[in-house]
Structure 1
Amino acid sequence: MTDLIETVVENREMVQPNHANMLDVAHGGNVMKWMDEVGAMSAIRFAGEMCVTAHVNQMNFERPIPVGDTAYITAYVYDAGTSSVKVRLVTERENLQTRERERTTESYFVYVAIDEDKQPTAVPELTVSTDEGERLRQAALDGRNGNGGH
């Protein structure tokens, strides 16, 4: 069994000019790629197996991330099936100089754990043993079900 708190992965990507679109903000495709990578890290950490992306829920880009700011991405596993791993992902725009952050994107990805033969394989049971873990899990379930996740 793996506890939810053990699956939390946070990562930053500095938005450089080569990551930007014509408006000098992060290209949405780059943000999606970064989110997918961080989400996979969380899923692999949970499953103890390689994981591949199987599904991406709706992704709304609520505000831009300007060149020079960072994309601060947080991922954690909030549910699991037999071989599937459900991960909540939240991206925030972060100004490193002021430390100001604001949410830019939220989504829910599903990964599938695979074995050495690249076939689906079983994942452990997810446990939640802390108040913070329960708060994160509830936030994910509320957001996933359209109950004010953002």
Structure 2
Amino acid sequence: MIDVEETYIENRVMVQPNHANNLQTAHGGHVLKWMDEVGAMSAMRFAGNSCVTARINQVDFERPIQVGDTSLIKSYVYRAGRTSVRVRLQVYRENLRNGKQQKATESYFVYVAIDDDREPTTVPELGVSSDRGERLRDEALAGEGQ
């Protein structure tokens, strides 16, 4: 059994001019790509197999991430089915000079584990063995329907 906390990943991307739109903020397509990559990492860490994106829940961009700021992506598995993995993703605008973080967006992605023949394969059971893991799972379950 794999624990929620074992799937937790944080990644940062420095927003460069080549990531920007005409307003000098991170292009939404880049943000979605970064989310998908980090979410897949959490899903693969959990499943022990390659995982492909099956579904992306609603994504509302709450605030822009400026060129020169960092996009901080937090990801973890909070629910598992037979072959599918549900991952919560949160993105923050982070100013490296002062450490201030502001939520930019969040979403819930579904990945399917696949075997070497690219066929769906079963995933392990998800465990929760700590207060932090329980809090992460409960927050994700409460927010996924919104």
**TM-score (ref. length: structure 2):** 0.99
Matched, 1:27 2:27: yes
The equivalences for 1:54-65 within 5 A come to 54-65=54-65
- Hey, what does 2:36 align to over in structure 1? 36
SS in 2 for 1:124: coil
SS in 2 for 1:60: coil
- Cα-to-partner distance string for 1:21-68 (whole Å, 9 max, x where unaligned): 000000000000000000000000000000000000000000000000
The percent of aligned pairs where both chains have the same amino acid is: 65
Distance in 2 between the 1:55 and 1:116 partners? 21
SS in 1 for 2:35: helix
Distance in 1 between the 2:47 and 2:31 partners? 24
Alpha-carbon deviation of 1:145?
A: 2.1
Distance in 2 between the 1:144 and 1:128 partners? 18
Unmatched segments (≥5 aa) in structure 2: none
- Hey, what does 2:2 align to over in structure 1? 2
- Hey, what does 2:79 align to over in structure 1? 79
- Hey, what does 1:52 align to over in structure 2? 52
**TM-score (ref. length: structure 1):** 0.97
Matched, 1:140 2:140: yes
Matched, 1:126 2:126: yes
Unmatched segments (≥5 aa) in structure 1: none
Structure 1 residue ranges, 4+ long, deviating more than 2 angstroms after superposition: none
CA RMSD in angstroms, aligned pairs only: 0.4
